[in-house]
Amino acid sequence: MAVEPLSAKEIEDRLAELPGWSLDGDRLTRTYRLPSHFAATALVVHVARIQDELDHHSDLTLGYHTVSLSVHTHSAGGTVTEKDFELARRVEDIAPGHGPH
């Protein structure tokens, strides 16, 4: 099944529902600040689990108290698709202090 790129308006509308996420070139990005390195590492593990469930993987950067995500859909030519927003919503749901747990 082909995944279609979203229009600029569709991306703008979906970003309005995800505070903290932004468009950086052709990628959705977000950095989370966590209370400790352990918490940041735990978030990376949870994000990896979500990525495997969705079969959609982002670039992750682990810092001392931060986790940064950068995501786009390779199979759609490296553009932003609904798959990227699904991943972003799922991460928001599990990020400490950012959604239901």
Residue 48 sits in a domain of what CATH number? 3.30.1360.20
Is the pLDDT at 99 greater than 70, yes or no?
no
At residue 97 the predicted structure's pLDDT band, cuts being 50, 70 and 90, is confident
- 39-77 pLDDT per residue, tens: 999 999 999 999 999 999 999 999 999 999 999 999 899
* Amino acid, res. 60: L
> Is the pTM of the predicted complex or chain greater than 0.85?
yes
Domain that holds residue 28: 8-94
Task: Flag whether 28 is in a domain.
Answer: yes
In order, the DSSP letters of 49-67 are: HHHHHHT---EEEE-SSEE
For residue 63, tell me if it sits in a domain: yes
Q: Is residue 2 part of a domain?
A: no
In-domain check, residue 101: no
Mean pLDDT for the chain? 93
Q: Structural domain tally of the chain?
A: 1
- Whether residue 30 lies inside any domain: the answer is yes
Q: Is residue 101 scored above 50 in pLDDT? A: no
β-strand partners of 41: none
Report how far residue 50's alpha carbon sits from residue 91's, in angstroms, rounded to the nearest whole number: 7
Please report whether residue 100 resides in a domain.
no
Q: What is the pLDDT of residues 18-47, one digit of tens each?
A: 999 999 999 999 999 999 999 999 999 999
**What distance in Å separates the CA atoms of residue 19 and residue 31, rounded to the nearest whole number?**
11
The radius of gyration of the chain from alpha carbons, rounded to an integer in Å, stands at 13
Provide CB contacts within 8 A for 63, sequence distance 6+: 40
Q: How far apart are CA 34 and CA 83, in angstroms?
A: 25
